[in-house]
C-alpha cells in the first residue's frame, strides 16, 4: 500500500441481503491516476456498489475537469 487514505468502520447488517449505505468524507486529491484498494480486516463483507462524487469543495479549478474512474476487482482467498 502506497498511502493509507481513509479507514471506515462498516457495521454488521445481520445478513448478506441486508445493505446499509456508508458515506465517507471529502478527500482532496491532486490530478492523476490512482489505484483503489479495499481491504476487509475483520471478516467478510458484501459490497453492493461504490459511488464517487466530485463535490463543490473539490471544484477549485476554473478549467474544465475530466473525471473518469476504473474500478478493478481482485478476488483473493484468505
Q: How far apart are CA 26 and CA 77, in angstroms?
A: 31
Q: What is the pLDDT of residues 54-75, one digit of tens each?
A: 776 555 555 555 555 555 555 5
Question: What predicted TM-score, i.e. pTM, was given to this entire model?
Answer: 0.47
Contact 6, 24 (CB under 8 A): yes
Q: What is the pLDDT of residues 7-33, one digit of tens each?
A: 777 788 888 888 888 877 777 777 777
Domain-wise residue ranges, the chain: 1-78
Amino acid at each position: 500500500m502506497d498511502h493509507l487514505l481513509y479507514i471506515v468502520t462498516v457495521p454488521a447488517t445481520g445478513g448478506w441481503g441486508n445493505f446499509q449505505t456508508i458515506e465517507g468524507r471529502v478527500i482532496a486529491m491532486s490530478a492523476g491516476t490512482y489505484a483503489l484498494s479495499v481491504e476487509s480486516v475483520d471478516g467478510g463483507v458484501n459490497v453492493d456498489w461504490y459511488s464517487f462524487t466530485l463535490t463543490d469543495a473539490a471544484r477549485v479549478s476554473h478549467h474544465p475537469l475530466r473525471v473518469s474512474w476504473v474500478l478493478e476487482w481482485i478476488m483473493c482467498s484468505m
